[in-house]
Amino acid sequence: MKRKFLVMSVVALASCTLFILFMHSNEPKIDQGIIIHMNNNYYTIPPNEEEYDELSKECMNILKSINGQYKLAITLDGLKSIKSRENYVEIVFPENITLTTNYTVIKLEGAVFMLSGEYEGKIFTYRGRVVGVWSSDQSFDRLRGMVETFIRQ
C-alpha cells in the first residue's frame, strides 16, 4: 500500500512539473528588449525596433516613480505563473542595473508592469531569483495605450 502511494505521488509530481513547463514554454526569452503579453499573445520588441524607445522610456518613467514596496513573498516561478495568466509589459535589461526611484534604490535585471488581474497596476522587479513588488505614483494608462496602439499596427 505504501509503495503504491509512493509511486502515485511520484507520477503526480512528474505530471505537475510537465504541466508547468508546458505552460511556460510559449513565453519568449530575450536578453534585452520588451515583451508584451496581451490576450494570450506575445510580442517582442528588440532595442533596434522603432517602438522600443518610446515604450522603454515610459517603462523607465514608471519605474522611477515607484513610491512603495509590498510585503509579498513571491518567487520567480510564482511570477512566471502570474504572467502566464495576465496581460503585462516586461522590460529586460542586457545586464543588472541600479535604479534610483522616488522611494529607494533598486537593483534589477528586468521589470514586469501588470496590466490586468489581481496585481493590475503593480510592478514586479527581478534580479536573479529575487522578486520585488512595488507601487507607483504613475498610472499605467499611457503604457496601456501605447501597447494597444502597437498591437493594432
CB 83 within 8 A of CB 112: yes
CB 88 within 8 A of CB 118: no
Q: How far apart are CA 50 and CA 94, in angstroms?
A: 18
Question: What's the pLDDT tens digit per position in 74-91?
Answer: 999 999 999 999 999 999
DSSP notation for the chain: -HHHHHHHHHHHHHHHHHHHHHHHTTS---SSEEEEEETTEEEEE-TTSHHHHHHHHHHHHHHHTEEEE------HHHHHHHHHHS-EEEEEEEEEEEEE-SS-EEEEEEEEEE-SSTTTT-EEEEETTEEEEEEESS-SHHHHHHHHHHHH-
Residue with cell 499605467: 140
Planar angle of CA 109, 146, 65, nearest 5 degrees: 50
Strand partners, 100: 105
Q: What is the pLDDT of residue 9?
A: 52
Q: What is the pLDDT of residue 98?
A: 97
The tens place of each residue's pLDDT in the chain, 153 residues long, gives 655 544 455 445 544 443 444 444 578 888 899 999 999 999 999 999 999 999 999 999 999 999 999 999 999 999 999 999 999 999 999 999 999 999 999 999 999 999 999 999 999 999 999 999 999 999 999 999 999 999 988
Residue with cell 502511494: 5
pTM comes to 0.82
Q: What are the φ and ψ backbone dihedral angles of 16, each rounded to 5 degrees?
A: -65, -40
